[in-house]
A and B are shown apart, each in its own frame.
Chain A
Amino acid sequence: QQQVKQSPQSLIVQKGGISIINCAYENTAFDYFPWYQQFPGKGPALLIAIRPDVSEKKEGRFTISFNKSAKQFSLHIMDSQPGDSATYFCAARAGTGRRALTFGSGTRLQVQP
């Protein structure tokens, strides 16, 4: 049972376009929603994160939109660049005890020049 559902599985975007990746969750106890970026041969690295008390967070070209009532959140990459080509994982965490991140299945983004 996958608690965080991520789509699409893969995405091809032209340079300068907008990349959008969506995630949905069921567990209302989740209170922290990070996005991780993973390049081939590397470990995931935190890209941006949001808490459910805000509906949007922006850092440079990356924006998280959060819809608490729909239990959905999404990553928007503006002005996508070839260097953004990577696998993106959404994740969620409930509380601070175990600190386990529940990950989505990942989206492989390819930005074509």
Chain B
Amino acid sequence: EAQVTQNPRYLITVTGKKLTVTCSQNMNHEYMSWYRQDPGLGLRQIYYSMNVEVTDKGDVPEGYKVSRKEKRNFPLILESPSPNQTSLYFCASSSRQGTDTQYFGPGTRLTVL
């Protein structure tokens, strides 16, 4: 089954404790990105990657890091989480060829105390 998976689905942590949210896709997509969803703001792009070893900032990159060492994986790293990073996070992927459809993962709900 073609899908984007994220782990963990739920995470409660404390300020300053480094964490990683993993994202993996099995569709051989070149393009992957991370979004955060906040009430009344829709989804906003954090970082994106056009291909392996190619990453760039989105609209709200402050406080986040990413890496793309393998085509299928695109982890999101919060090195020193703060309460304003409490949010619902989505990973998405799409192919550079063909349709523009972005496929979203199921989401990770993060709470930073």
What CA separation (Å) do A22 and B69 show in the bound complex? Answer: 40
How many residues of A are counted as interface, with CB atoms below 8 angstroms from the partner's CB atoms? Answer: 26
The answer on a CB contact under 8 Å between A100 and B4 is: no
A residues 64-113 in Cβ contact with B at 8 Å: 89, 91, 93, 96, 98-101, 103-106
Residue of B nearest to A98 (CB): B48
What CA separation (Å) do A37 and B100 show in the bound complex? Answer: 16
Provide the main secondary structure of the chain B interface. Answer: strand
Interface presence of B107 (CB below 8 A): yes
- Of A12-20, A41-49, A52-60, the one with at least 4 CB within 8 A of chain B: A41-49
The answer on a CB contact under 8 Å between B59 and A100 is: yes
What CA separation (Å) do A93 and B31 show in the bound complex? Answer: 15
Q: Say how far A33's CB is from chain B's closest CB, in angstroms.
A: 11
Q: Which residues of B contact A91 (CB under 8 A)?
A: 42
* Interchain CB contact (< 8 A) of B102 among A2, A6, A99: A99
Q: Say how far B107's CB is from chain A's closest CB, in angstroms.
A: 5
Interface presence of B45 (CB below 8 A): yes
The answer on a CB contact under 8 Å between B43 and A103 is: yes
Beyond A36-B104, A42-B107, A96-B100, 19 extra complex contacts between A and B, CB < 8 Å: A2-B41, A9-B40, A34-B101, A42-B106, A43-B90, A43-B92, A46-B101, A46-B102, A49-B100, A89-B43, A98-B45, A99-B31, A100-B45, A100-B48, A103-B42, A103-B44, A105-B40, A105-B41, A106-B42
**28 A–B contacts from the bound complex (CB under 8 Å):** A32-B100, A36-B104, A42-B107, A43-B92, A43-B106, A44-B43, A44-B90, A44-B104, A46-B101, A49-B101, A89-B42, A89-B43, A91-B42, A96-B100, A98-B56, A99-B48, A99-B100, A99-B102, A100-B33, A100-B45, A100-B48, A100-B59, A103-B43, A104-B42, A105-B41, A105-B42, A106-B40, A106-B42
